[in-house]
Amino acid sequence: MNLTVNGVSRAVQSAPLTSLLDVLREELGVTSPKAGCEQGGCGACTVLVGGEPQRACLTPVGAIDGAEVTTVEGLGPPEELSPVQQAFTHHYAAQCGFCTAGMLLAAEAYIERGGTDDREAIQEALSGHVCRCTGYVKIIDAVAAAARGDSFDLTTTAPGAGMTNLGGVS
């Protein structure tokens, strides 16, 4: 079997019923998608298959032979972060970071299909993704900012700039 992962063609030796998550992590050494539950309940394993967000832990690799798979490594390197990656960084949308890869790809796909900064729509689109650290507010802030096309200066250390209103979701 064969997959194109982040633009690179990779041969796959694993058995066809092996989950895409195991193929990526164990066979191909792509470790950004995480094994949070291996039941599709947490979203930490989400990758893009043909541009669509999908749970890698639920996908038998045999079903997607030949597909294009995008993981977070394919969004952008540190020197050239994509808009969602910049937004997450600027808005402190990651704490332990374990859910971040899945969140980023779900957000990326949401914006690609025309998603706006409407907070309810963002919540609905990302509702398959569990975060135990942040309480979600900053994640939604970040996705809304990226959807709006906000630009960020990640070098700034200006006091108070851009901090979320502690009074709640605006």
Partner 1 sequence: MTQATEVLLPASPDEAVAQFGDGAGVTVVGGGTIVVPELTYGRLEPAKAMLLTNAGLDTLAREGDTITLGAGLPVQRLTELAEDVQALAECALNVADYEIRCQGTVGGNVCAKPGQDAPRGDLQGPFLALDATARSAGADGEQTEPFEEFLAHREGRLLLDLRFERPAASAFSALTYPHTHTYTAIAVSGVRSASGEKRLAVTGSAGHGVRLRGAEGDADDPGAAALRDVELADDALASAWYRERALPVLVRRTLSMLEEST
Partner 2 sequence: MKAVGARLPRYDGIEHVTGRTTYVDDVRVPGTLWTKALRSPLHSATFSGLDTSKAEAMPGVRAVISAADVPLLEYGHLSALGIPADEPLLAKDEVRYKGQPIALVAAEDEETAMAAVEAIGVDFEEREPLLDIRRAWDEDAPKIHQWGNWYPHFEGEMDCRQIRKGSIDEAFEQADTIVQGVYRPAAIEHVPLETQVALVVPEANGRLTIYSCTQALYFSMGVVAAHLQLPLNKLKVVGGTVGGGFGGKVDTATETMCSLLAQKSGRPVKWRWTREEEFLCSSTRAPWHMEVADAVTSDGWILGRKMLTLHDSGAYARFSPYGLTKHSFHHTGAYTIPNLHFDGYVVFTNRVPTTAMRGFGVTSVSFATETHLSRIADVLGLDPYEVRLKNANRIGDTSPNRIVYTDPSTVPVVKALADGMDVTLAPEYAAMGPGQREGDLLPEHLVSQLADPEAH
Distance CA 24, CA 22 (A): 5
Helical ranges in 39-118 per DSSP H: 83-90, 100-112
Q: Contact with partner 1 (CB under 8 A): which of 25, 30, 33, 55?
A: 55
- 137-148 and 100-112 helices, crossing angle to 10°: 30
Q: Give residue for tokens 């990651």.
A: 94
Binding map of partner 2 across residues 29-68, x = CB under 8 A, - = no contact: x-xx-xxxxxx-xx-x------------------------
Q: For partner 1, which is the closer residue by CB, 76 or 128?
A: 128
Q: Is 15 in the site for partner 1 (CB under 8 A)?
A: yes
| Cβ 30 vs Cβ 8: under 8 Å | no
Identify what 40 binds: partner 2, partner 1, none; CB under 5 to 8 Å per kind. partner 1
Token pair for 76? 């952008």
Sheet holding 46-49, edge to edge: 8-11, 2-5, 68-70, 46-49, 52-55
Q: For partner 1, which is the closer residue by CB, 16 or 135?
A: 16
Neighbouring C-beta atoms of residue 54, cutoff 10 Å: 22
Q: Is 52 in the site for partner 1 (CB under 8 A)?
A: yes
Residues in 95-114 at the binding interface with partner 2, rule: CB under 8 A: 96-101, 104
Interface residues with partner 2 (CB under 8 A) are 25, 29, 31-32, 34-39, 41-42, 44, 71-73, 75-78, 81, 85, 88-89, 92, 94, 96-101, 104, 130-133, 154, 156-163
- Which residues of the shown chain bind partner 1 in the complex (CB under 8 A)? 15-19, 38-41, 43, 46, 52-55, 57-60, 62-65, 106, 124-125, 127-128
